[in-house]
Chains A and B, each alone.
Chain A
């Protein structure tokens, strides 16, 4: 029963075969961990934007409806349906990864899938078309275009004011929140059109699946942004959005919010292996709080051009996207042989809510080609007989290392590590008593600490605020005093 309001614009591209890496990939934290999330592929090439919106709608498809503000009236050839597996593939390839250092040499089967042929069910629904148009006109709503694409019935609307648009949408079965006019008005004034989508159940059945497929739209516009405000009108708390962006030149970054890297390359305890999903989820939540809840996180950035000769990932979490996937995602400069130009892949993850995100997300393409991945490291201890002197030294060092891993874990996730004394003890127990007793008594900073900054301000903003204010007051007092003295 959820209604999704999304909006999107931007970027693009290709990836490669995994080559040398020194770790063994063991788990990933994929986007499905996060509830109330949406995924978007943005391809940006010059002024052209190709947006693909995933559709994870779970309810009765008859209830599905989506309203997306778009900058231009889209033509039929600008709208298509793509294989939903593209999202899973991009997610798998770019998601935060857990790497295990081990003797084993990892190998990843190159799994490829065949892209589903887009169906050309381009019948335009005409049943109620003339009545709809007449009603729309009375409400100041113009139906600019009407298409049937795959299982979707699509209308492109323009409107003169929000009340009429809202009323029209409600009359036609789109569930619009009461507060929607707050954002509909600005969108109408900004000359945005509304891309509204419903499902034709009979055509969905022809696809042989109950699952709705992603819709892809393309248009030319200066505007490179994602209108997130309409979605907020519908949601009380915060929502997650993962953006897979592709460009020719380099990273995509947010222009009106900070783009921050998630913590990466951290050594964490072995037992996290079984709960990497929850680990990353808590890590993300904590980082989100610490940064003041108003940033966009960078989770992955890599040159994925098929011909790119450098290391692709370390380790690779999934098979690299191939030209066919790029084409499916809307990256149209690679060509089937991938020889058409560089493709840079950026994965952004934003958790947004009304309070901290007053503006829609605006992006820019930068020439920044620095690689980045969210990566967490497990290190397995040596096995076998460690009774020799250097083995004993190793165990002692291992003890210290594990302590650092526990501290790191707590700092990253806020998890209570008091219950994890056993992780240290199993190493300590392997040492002879005299050596074990000489180890420092660890008082793990135990208990869940909430150092993530939960208040409205963050440590990052409070200290300069305090310092600045203090200096300003001092200066002012000094001036006043001097002024009085002169008199």
Chain B
């Protein structure tokens, strides 16, 4: 009975705020990388990314008077970047994390920020320093099915996060890949699966493109928008052999978000599970 109550409380905790699930899941995957895949000797990198993200967020909290609970968002950004971004110099990492967090406060339109913070931070580090990179192969494909089922299953079962964007993106991407890889080029299904069971792609699918603050407000717009990201990512990867194509595709699509929101108004998102009738909170 005790166990059951503890379990019930854990579920309630996870449902109270979608970010709780995200933090746990991302931290779990980081641990998996360190323990099972041997990403040891990378602790300083994680510390810099997460530490910078939290510090910069704290500064803005003081400055803008935002709720301290918004540190959870910064933690997610830091964790997500730890899983994706690599760099030769600690300054590059700090720059990436700082750009990511400050963009939330400085690059805004119509009451919300435009760019997905982690996405922009990675892009800035790669573009501006020439010292950063993303290693799409670092996950291997072994445990990726677990990731897929865990992330999707968790979101569905706990009813947290915007899984519609994940499904629209991954579904479209998988379909395009199927058409090209298997039906057009004639590779076997194993090639198709191997292309999809990529840690960076799945991480992007469930923890980056799902960010409710930087996706269109209306559900219909959101789904078309996600499909657009998938199409662009697909084209970049096949036409130009760009390895982290979804990252660049999302960056471009975030930029056109304000236009979409202008035409399709929807309810603004709020992180915590309070009744939807209340005025939207500032949720940086």
Contact = CB atoms under 8 A, between A and B. Distances in A.
Interface of A: 182, 185-186, 189-190, 222-224, 249-250, 253-261, 292, 294-295, 358-359, 362, 364, 366-370, 457-461, 463-465, 468-469, 471-472, 474-476, 478-479
A295 B142 CA distance: 11
Nearest to B198: A256
Interface in B135-151: 135-143, 145-146, 149-150
Nearest to B29: A464
A189 B186 contact: yes
Contacts of B195: 256, 359
B150 A254 contact: no
- The secondary structure that dominates the A interface is mixed
Contacts of B109: none
B36 A464 contact: yes
B185 A190 contact: yes
Interface string B1-30: 000000110010000000000000000000
B137 A222 contact: no
Contact of A368 (B86, B193, B239): B86
Contact of B185 (A186, A260, A367, A478): A186
Contacts of B253: none
B194 interface: yes
A255 B150 contact: no
Interface stretch (B153-161, B207-215, B255-263, B273-281): B153-161
Given A186-B186, A366-B133, A369-B88, A295 B157 contact: no
B90 interface: no
Given A182-B188, A190-B185, A471-B150, A258 B88 contact: no
B145 to A, nearest CB: 8
Contacts of A249: 130
Given A189-B184, A255-B137, A359-B191, A367 B150 contact: no
B140 A254 contact: no
A261 B240 CA distance: 29
- The 9 A-B residue pairs with the shortest CB-CB distance, nearest first, are A461-B142, A222-B241, A358-B190, A460-B36, A185-B186, A258-B140, A468-B146, A186-B185, A366-B133
Given A259-B138, A364-B243, A472-B150, 11 more contacts: A249-B130, A250-B88, A256-B194, A294-B140, A359-B194, A364-B133, A464-B32, A465-B143, A475-B153, A475-B157, A478-B11
Contacts of B138: 258-259
B88 A367 contact: yes
B111 interface: no
A368 B191 contact: no
Nearest to B135: A253
A457 B136 contact: no
Nearest to A476: B157
Contacts of A256: 136-137, 194-195, 198
B18 to A, nearest CB: 15
Contacts of B136: 255-256
A295 B185 CA distance: 25
A295 B140 contact: yes
B199 to A, nearest CB: 9
A186 B184 CA distance: 8
B223 to A, nearest CB: 25
Contacts of B36: 459-461, 463-464
Nearest to A471: B150
Contacts of B154: 472, 475
Contact of B37 (A460, A472, A479): A460
17 contacts: A189-B185, A223-B241, A254-B137, A256-B198, A257-B140, A258-B138, A292-B140, A359-B194, A366-B86, A367-B87, A367-B130, A460-B37, A460-B142, A461-B142, A464-B146, A465-B145, A468-B146
Contacts of B239: 222
Contacts of A190: 185
A84 to B, nearest CB: 31
Contacts of A189: 184-186
B68 interface: no
Contacts of A465: 143, 145-146
A224 B237 CA distance: 12
A186 B187 contact: yes
B132 interface: yes
Contacts of B141: 294
Nearest to A364: B243
A367 B11 contact: no
B38 interface: yes
Contacts of B86: 366, 368
B142 A457 contact: yes
B131 interface: yes
A478 B153 CA distance: 13
Given A457-B142, A460-B142, A460-B143, A358 B137 contact: no
A259 to B, nearest CB: 6
Contacts of B7: 474, 478
B152 to A, nearest CB: 10
Contacts of A368: 86, 88, 133
